[in-house]
Amino acid sequence: MDSTPGVRSYSFPKEEHLCRKKLIEELFGRGSSFGLYPLRLIWLPTETPTLAPPQVLVSVSKRSFKRAVDRNYLKRLLREAYRLNKYRLLEAAGGHRLDRLAIIYTGKEKKPFTLVEKKLISGLERLLTEAGATPPRVAGS
């Protein structure tokens, strides 16, 4: 990872993917959640504020999208929207309190990337306020 100050990293490496079954079960068992149609965000807070990125799970229901092509397309959209906007969590004043995060697509039809990204940004900002951190100032917003 590039450690140059002032340079954002827009990567989404494997270490940030939430894959372990035990951790996923704990997230769904003890986590808090809210919905912002067509997304549902579930998170598990940490004890202390951190600047490390949370582990993230992205999911699309097989019940709503029977074809794997459609599910994979939507998961790709969600991962890309998160990748481009995760800096909002990492640059929060004083850090953030997210250990794990699940982003679930709950809509019944495919939505355009711009709408998905807009909803994800709103969700991340709401997460920061609920977790007690201040969102970063974004130029032009």
Give 105-124 pLDDT, tens digit per residue.
999 999 999 999 999 999 99
pLDDT band, residue 93 (cuts 50/70/90): confident
Q: Is residue 123 part of a domain?
A: yes
- pLDDT at position 138 is 52
DSSP 90: H
State the residue range of the domain holding 124: 31-130
Contact 65, 74 (CB under 8 A): yes
What integer pLDDT is reported at residue 96 of this predicted model?
Answer: 85
40 occurs within a structural domain? yes
Length of the chain: 141
Domain assignment present for 9: no
Answer whether residue 38 is part of any domain. yes
- Residue 83 in domain: yes
56 class by beta-carbon count within 10 Å (0-12 exposed, 13-18 middle, 19+ buried): buried
Measure CA 1 to chain center: 20
The dihedral through the CA atoms of 113, 123, 88, 73 has a sign that is: negative
Beta bridge partners of 93: 134
**What pLDDT score was predicted for residue 9?**
82
Domain count, the chain: 1
Q: Are 102 and 27 in contact (CB under 8 A)?
A: yes
- 18 lies in a domain? no
**Residue 117, domain CATH:** 3.30.230.10
| pLDDT tier for residue 49 given thresholds of 50, 70 and 90 | confident
Q: Is residue 42 part of a domain?
A: yes
Whether the Cβ atoms of residue 17 and residue 56 lie closer than 8 Å to each other = yes
Residue 24, Cβ density class (10 Å: 0-12 exposed, 13-18 middle, ≥19 buried):
middle
In this prediction the pTM is 0.87
In a domain, 54, yes or no: yes
d(CA 119, CA 125): 10
